[in-house]
Every structure is written in structure tokens, then in C-alpha cells.
Structure 1
Amino acid sequence: MSPPTRPRRPRGTRGKRLAAAGAAALVLPLAACEALTPGSAAEAPGPRSAPSSTAVPDEDITLRLQFADAPLMVDALIAAFEEDHPRITIEPEFKQFNDYVKNLKLTMTSDTAPDIAQYAVGMSDLAEDGYVLDLAPYRDAYGWDEAVPPVSLDQLTAGLTSEATGGHALFGVPAGLSMTGIYYNKDLAARAGIDGPPATLAEFEDQLAAAQDAGLTPLGVGALDTGGLHLWAALLNQSMPTDDYWDWVNGTPGATIETDGAIDATERVIDWGSRGYYNDSANGTAQGDSTAQFTQGDSVFLVNGNWAAGQLATVMGDNVGFFPLPGERPGDPTVASGFSVSYAVSSQTEHPEAAGAFLDFMTSPEANQIIADNGFLPTNPEAVADPEGVLADVAAAHREAVTDDGITTFPDFAAPAMLDALRSGVQKLVADRVDPADYLDSLQDVWDEQHAD
């Protein structure tokens, strides 16, 4: 995959709607300020690179780490790192994903920015303004090109050149790779006459219908936050050419989400809802709650990401499996949304060497095993024990997608304001309260506002 560059698109003919979107966008930072108030805004520091030395000062150091995904994994990584580095203390600060993304700019530009922060949509803009440390010198000093798949580092360059090395800049290091897909309860699937993962999208629809005919809830969706987004994106991956999708996410001039393929995916979300395939109150159910309900046998299938695999394996054992949503035809490439749970370093940190040591620890065999045990894909699969059960299913699906060059980043990476538009828009699709063309038009409005000159 190519790194997410952000070229600007010429302004189109949506003047009134863009003006309205801009006015609405002014409300969000004000609300965020009232809710977060992390400190006064710090002056843009300009480009800053990590030092080339990997030596950590022999003194007591405390780092603050703010993140929004996989708290159990983060706790385990911190504990293992601190055991190896007894003079470095890392204080984790967990935020709900929606709040984290909404407040990321405010958090990272304040004078109380955390030393380390999870990479998320909007981080590229912050990197361009100098609020995120360029880690390219550490990439060379620690040998991260050898320890981490190049495709995973390419997603973290912000399309910039490093002033320190002259090569690609680097603004994050992965602590586990991800992909979304479909989990299934094997006992419930057998009750509905379903004997394994489908080979095509049409076959999956037949399985949803079979589950309903058996008196079961076919598909668990946590659309209150991101579960609905993952469902729509999974369908989009099967109906929109991957190159066209990447152009849209990367902000390529002239790119659009208003395509026939996107219409097909959007109509399918509405159709499945009208057929009663979703869990009751899908729009009022958070993704975490839909996962918990799935472990209790509330649905045959569940749309979610690999980050839920560890929890599901612990609770359900061998009764749960995983597969990527299949394409229209047998043998179609495996295409699925994914990214990496990655961490960036604030350019304001007083301890870049200690932060660099933590990021490097995440590439170690010990950290890779912790990452794998928590359902994420390790950056070095050879460094961990062979997974079993649903963890093996996830690993195999990820290998298929990587081989097919089919890992696409999440659609909210198209613009910092896209997440809200996607979440609320998909909720309307689930409830059949918006026309597919109007939904896509609303997303393109957000895209235009971000990428217009």
C-alpha cells in the first residue's frame, strides 16, 4: 500500500453545502474544548526529528501514553517494558475512541500533550505542522525496516520527507496489525444448517437468511459507535475498486465516493436491515456491547475486528470462527479494512530517547507475543508461537489479504471530520432513514471540505 498522502482537490460546485459544513465544524472544537481542556495551545514547533542516538539517560523518567484501543494489550506491554527498563515509568491514559479522535488535535497541540499517543486520523496534519516527532533517525538506528513490514511503516509517513535523513519521514511504530471481518458462532451456525465460511457474498446472504429462518438473529452490529462503519466498509471493499478507494482516502484530486460500487454497498446495508438481519437496537448498541452479546449466543455472526479475537477466544473457546467478508465471485482477492495500532511521539516530549526505547520494545519477540495473545497480528509472525482456534483464523485471513494486497485503511482516514459523518450516516442506513445517494453525498461534502484548496 502507498502511504497516505494528502494532495488538495480543487473546489467543486458545492459552495452552499461546504459553507454549511464549515459552520457546523466550528461547533465541534468548541465542544471539545469544554469537554477536554487539556491545557493552553502550544505554538507550532515546526519539524523536529528524533535524535540519532538510542542511549536512554540513566535517570528516573515518566512518560504519559494516551490511547484508545486494546487496553489489556497496552497494560501488558507497559508491564513488560517497565520490567526491562525499571527507571522508566509509563502512565497509560485510556480514552474512548470517538472522543480520542475528536479531541486529538486539541490534545496534541496543547502544552500538556502526552509523550506518546496512538496514531489516528488527523495525525498526518499534526505531523505536517510539527507536533509529532519524526522517528526516521530511530528507524535507521534501531533497524525497524527489518523488524516491521514496510507496508505498515509506509502508512505512517504522512507523505513527508525526513529533514534528518532525507528519506521518508516516520511518525509512528506499529504495536500490532489489524483487519475487520465476520465472526461466527459455530454451534448456532450448525443449528441453521451453515457448515462453514461462505465462498461468495451471495452465499453469505443465503447464510443470513438461513439463520433468520432458524429463529436466530443473523448479524450482530454495534452501530452506536464503529460497528456499523465496519459493516459498510466491508461491503464497500467488495464493490468499489481498491485503487479508486485509495484515491479517495488519500485525497487524490478528483477522487469521489459517489460511485456505482459505493451505491451497491450502501443499498445492501439498507436491504439487510429491512430484512431484519441485524440485532434489535443495533443503533443503540456499542461495538463492545455487541461483542459481549455475541459471546452469550445472541447472534450467529458478528462484524468486528481482530481486536476482539482474544476476548472471544477466552469466552467461547473453539466455538467461534472468523472469516473476511468474501467477494462477489469465488476466488476474488481478499480485501478488508485494516491498519495498525501504532504509537507516535509528541515533538514536545522531554524524553525522546525513552519514548524511542518503548517503541522499539514493541518490535521485540516478547512484545510480539503479547500482541498476538491479545488478538492482534504481530509485525513479525515468526517471532510468536503458532496461533490456535479463532486467532489462527484471523492470522490466516490477514495473510490472504496481505498476499492479495487487499488491506485497505479505514474510511474515516479520508478526513478528520469523516468519523462523525460515517457513524451517523450508517445509523441512518441501518434504520432506512436516508437515501444511499444522499448518504454518499454527505461523505463527499466532508471530503471536499478537507481537500479543497
Structure 2
Amino acid sequence: MKQRSSTVVFKPSPPRKVRTIAAVLAAVVSLGVAGCGSPAADDSVTLRFNWWGSDARHAQTQQVIERFEEAHPNIKVQPEFSNFSDYFNKLSTSAASRDLPDVMQMTDPHLYTYIDNGQLVDLGKHSDVLPTGDFSEASLAGTQIDGGLYGIPTGDSGFGMAVNPALFEKAGVPLPDDNTWTWDEFKDTAAAISKALPDVAGTSITMDEQTMNLWIRQHGEDYWKNGGSEIGFTAETAASWWEFVRSLRDSGGTQPVEAELESASLALEQSPLALGKKAMTLISVNQLGNLEKAAGQEFKLFRLPGEQQFKAEGGWTKPGIYYSVAANSEHPKEAAMLIDFLTHAPEAGEIVKFDRGVPSSSKMLEAITPSLTPVEGRVAEYVTRINELGTPAYAIPHPKAGGVLIDTVKRLSQEVVFDRMTPRQAADQLLADVKAAM
């Protein structure tokens, strides 16, 4: 309309027949241009993509986004990212206002909460642009609910103890045997390092639900049983974990509680472990490469303590991160295309490598294997080592209570280490809160 009015200014109007022919010709030309050039403006799509992670992950992911946008010039990706400690609180706020990002990183049990609330897209409906034939059944099993597929795994990972051998040597403390060391040996080793090196913490005060789960699994229980429909652990076992946490706090092998809480919110690159101020701590093993890059030295990956101490081995590997699409997305197909690129494109794999785990896609892993660095090879070896032990699979959590359990363990751990609750009081409260959420 604007073009037509500009052509008649200062000129007499042509006869109606001429105007009609001109309008038809203009429409034909317009359609021809749209069909043989760049996508029309109306075809452009903007996707919001949200993730958590370290500074290195942010940089890598934005490089992948640039490659995706080059391959799909009509799609613009708007990045949104934060530290893990803030991520799910922000996501929950967005969910409440039905403003979730189109594509988002997920982890269980949060994933199941969003599935249960109907807030995620069934990605199986977009298999034409997001095939999953090269993913193992085990890697997809955790996100297949009632016939739908609600998340695509980025890679298999697990938890290991990152150990700084240089600090052990400087402290004159021998490296433990990670096949046999107990939790008490772990605690005593940390205390010995802190005693020899007063400006170094031997380890962290473990207040997260993952380490507690390891302890519970080692005692022959689990957070969940019967497909997440029942609680699988006792108050006695939970209380015994918090008893250990409190004894670790009192051992002299950690930072003061306040400093531990502050450190927990830092990016990996700024953590005491990376800065040479902590000798060992639990990490997601896919972060080993970024840790060594930040620290400028090599670390060892140890199995976690207590694996031969109690009734069972509790360590596990599983997909640690999933990509999901929000049900409120106006562009679910394009969002699925982005996930396909993130999990399948060799150029994406070359950039990200193992940052989100050893790739779950066999095609992706095969494509990047020739270019793996020594540290990435060590991560792959560790994951293989844990897989070969055949420990019980990670239990699927209750869809509503899973997230409550995570938040409650963190909150109650602080109550215990600040002596505002006894371990048994915290254990009873944990069970009560989880049951209420169910």
C-alpha cells in the first residue's frame, strides 16, 4: 500500500485498466522474488534458547548458535544463560507466566515436573527434523512418558572426584585407592591436606542431593522405587548421611560453612578447585576439560568414596542434560531443528565436545572421536569404567515430588550444618515434605 501511494504523488492517476494490469504485474514480480531469494520477512523465526553452565559453555554454545544461524538464515536464536544455582528458579517464574523459552536445558527430576504439567512438546511428533535412531534406548528411556518423547539427551555423564595431584604432593599426603577408599578415609585425607596446607581446603562440604543419593544407594536404597511412585529410602539412612556431613564440617578439612555456600554459586573457572585452593571435590565428569583449562594443570578423576563400604555400589552414569521444547513455543518445528543441530551436527560436536557429556548420539560421537584431546579421552575412559561396573540404573523420580526433593535436601543441609536442626529432624522433615508433594 505504501509503495502504490508513493507512485501516484505528483502524477495524474492512470486509467483503471492500466492500474489493474500494473497491480497484477507487481504481484507476479513480488512472488517471483520471494521464491528465488532469501526467505520473506514473514518466514523469519526467532527462538529463545536457555541453558546453564560455565563461562566456557556459554562461549561454546554461542559459537554453535552462529553455525546454526548460518545454516538456517531465516532462524534467529536469542541466547539466555545463567549459573545452575539460579537456572530453575528463573525457569519456574517463566513457566508460571507461560513464557518459557522455546528450547531449554533440562535435567531430571525437573524434567518430569514440566512433563506432568503439560509444559513440554512431544518431540516424537517432529521426527522428520529430529531423528533419534542413533540414540540408545537407555539414553531415551528417561524422557519417554506415556508414549511421548519430551527430551533429547546431550550426552552420558556421571559424577567423579576431581583430585589435584599437585596439592597432594605438596601436602605430603598419598593419593588414595579409589577402588577401596571409605568415606572416613576421604574425610581424614581432606583434613590432612588442610593441616599441611592451611590456605587450602581439603574438600567441600557436600550439601547437594546427588551426593546424598550416592550414600543412600550405597546403603541398598534409592530416592525412588516403582517407577517414581514411591519413596525408596528411610529416615535412618538420610539421617546417617547428614551425620557424616556434620562430621566432615568439623574435621578441619573444608572451608567454613559460609565460604562453602559462597563457593557453590561460583562458575567453575572461579571456584577454589580451579584456583588451587581446594584439593578435591565432586564434579560432573564432563566438566574436567574446562576445569583443567581454567586451572592450567591436570587433575585425576577418582571414583567416589564408599563404593566397597556398605551394601552396594552407588555410582552411576546417565544422561545428565536434556534439550526440551516448551509447549508455549510458537515455532516447535524450528525448535526441534535447533536441537537436531545441537545433538547431531559434526560442527557442533567439534565445538562442544564433552561439555554436556559423552555424546549420546552415536553419529556425533563417531564424528568427533578422531579429534578428542587427551583429557576428553580420560573422561570417556572414566564413563566406560563406571558403566562396566553395572551399578543399578538411576531411578526415575516422582514427577511432582522430584524437584521438591532436590530443593528440600539443599535447604535442610544448610539447617544441619548451621546446627539449626539435628540430622534426624532434617530426615523426618525431608520425608514429610516429599510425601506432601506426592
279-288 vs 350-359, which moves further: 279-288
- Aligned partner of 1:353 in structure 2 is 333
Greater shift, 325-334 or 183-192, is seen at 325-334
Q: 1:137 aligned to 105, 125, 133, which one? A: 125
In the alignment, the residues of structure 2 paired with residue 343 and residue 352 of structure 1 have an alpha-carbon distance, to the nearest angstrom, of 13
Shift of residue 353 of structure 1? Answer: 1.7
Q: How does 1:46-445 map to 2 (within 5 A)?
A: 59-69=43-53, 70-120=57-107, 121-139=109-127, 142-144=130-132, 146-157=133-144, 160-161=145-146, 168-191=147-170, 192-195=172-175, 198-202=178-182, 203-215=185-197, 217-221=200-204, 228-229=207-208, 232-233=211-212, 235-236=214-215, 239-241=218-220, 244-247=222-225, 251-253=228-230, 255-280=231-256, 281-288=259-266, 292-329=271-308, 333=313, 335-336=315-316, 339-364=319-344, 365-374=346-355, 376-379=357-360, 380=362, 381-385=365-369, 387-403=372-388, 404-406=390-392, 408=394, 414-445=401-432
Change over 3 Å in CA distance of 1:428–1:271 after alignment to 2: same
Distance 1:411 1:325 in 2: 22
Deviation at 1:312, TM superposition (A): 1.2
C-alpha distance in 2, partners of 1:287/1:392? 29
Conserved in 2, the CA contact under 8 Å of 1:67 and 1:118? Answer: yes
Residue in structure 1 matched with residue 32 of structure 2 by the alignment: none
Residue range with higher mean Cα deviation, 327-336 or 96-105 = 327-336
SS where residue 319 of structure 1 aligns? coil
Once the 2 structures are TM-superposed, how far is the Cα of residue 92 of structure 1 from its aligned partner? 1.0
Determine if contact 2:129/2:336 at 8 Å carries over to the other structure.
no
Instruction: Give 1:77's aligned amino acid.
Output: V
The amino acid across from 1:285 in the alignment is S
Shift of 1:420: 2.9
Q: Distance in 2 between matches of 1:409 and 1:362?
A: 27
2:380 and 2:409 mapped to 1: Cα distance? 28
Runs of 4+ in 1 over 6 A off after TM superposition: 409-413
CA distance in 2, matches of 1:318, 1:99: 29
Deviates more, 1:352-361 or 1:304-313: 304-313
Q: How many correspondences in the alignment?
A: 379
TM-score, structure 2 as length reference: 0.75
For the aligned residue pairs, the C-alpha RMSD in angstroms reads 3.2
Aligned residue for 2:273, secondary structure, equals helix
Residues 364-386 of structure 1 deviation map (CA, whole Å, 9 limit, x = unaligned): 23333333253632223333236
Given that residues 62 and 91 in structure 1 are in contact (C-alpha distance below 8 angstroms), is that contact kept between their aligned partners in structure 2? yes
Instruction: Quote the Cα distance in structure 1 between the aligned partners of 2:306 and 2:280.
Output: 17
Measure how far apart 1:184 and its partner are. 1.1
Larger Rg: 2
Q: Secondary structure at the match of 1:114?
A: coil
Distance in 2 (CA, whole Å) between partners of 1:209 and 1:111 is 49
1:33 equivalent in structure 2: none
CA distance in 2, matches of 1:60, 1:101: 29
**TM-score when normalising by structure 1:** 0.73
| Deviation, structure 1 residue 194 | 1.9
Residue pair 1:179, 1:407 contacting (<8 A) in 2 also: no
Which stretches in structure 1 are left out of the alignment for 5+ residues?
1-56, 162-167
Cα distance, 1:110 vs structure 2 = 2.7
Q: Is the alpha carbon distance of 1:376 and 1:66 closer, same or farther for their aligned partners in structure 2, counting shifts above 3 Å?
A: same
The code of the aligned residue for 2:229 comes to: T
Tell me the secondary structure at the aligned position of residue 91 of structure 2.
helix
Deviation at 1:406? 4.8
Q: How far off its partner does 1:98 sit? A: 3.8
Contact (CA 8 Å) 1:240, 1:262: kept in 2 or not?
no
Q: State the Cα deviation string for residues 336-371 of structure 1 (Å, max 9, x = none).
A: 475422121122222222111111112223333333
